[in-house]
A = this chain, B = another copy of it.
Amino acid sequence: MSTVIEEVIPAADFRTMHSTAACNQSLQAVQDALYVLNGKWKLPIIIALREGPRRFRELQRLVTGITAKVLSKELKELEMNEFAVRHVYATTPVTVEYELTEYSHSLDSVIEALRQWGTQHRARILGKDKLEI
């Protein structure tokens, strides 16, 4: 992510871009995006948090199958990317809450595109499965 961008090219439709530099730059952007959503748990956690702030153990129950260790690691990464904030309340014992940030909603269009494509792709595959029996 700290790579220098040598040549800045105005935004253009992906389909029409074929210069090497433009392609590389697009590729880099797409890979940046995939990188932050990568792994088995980022999306499940983000989606669980969409309904409101959650405490650590609450999240672990909502995101079925995740271990405390992994949840902890993922939450740190979400914090680093500024998708979530961690609130500590001085109760005894302390209460810790995780909440999505405003910035996390910049992902909405990405997630929506993924959702739409994934939905039709699944339908397509299920359709083929039927024909293949």
Which residues of A are in contact with B by a Cβ distance under 8 Å?
1-2, 5, 11, 13-15, 18, 23, 25-34, 36-38, 43-44, 47, 50-51, 105-122, 125-126, 129
Contacts and interface: CB of A to CB of B under 8 A. Distances in A.
Q: Is the interface of A mostly helix, strand, loop or mixed?
A: helix
Contacts of A5: 122, 126
Contacts of A111: 14, 30
Q: Specify which of A18, A47, A113, A125 lies most central, judged by the most chain B CB atoms within 10 Å of its CB.
A: A113
A6 to B, nearest CB: 13
Contacts of A37: 34
A44 B29 contact: no
Given A28-B122, A29-B116, 18 more contacts: A1-B125, A5-B122, A5-B126, A11-B116, A13-B112, A14-B111, A23-B47, A27-B47, A29-B115, A29-B118, A29-B119, A30-B111, A30-B114, A30-B115, A31-B118, A33-B115, A33-B118, A109-B116
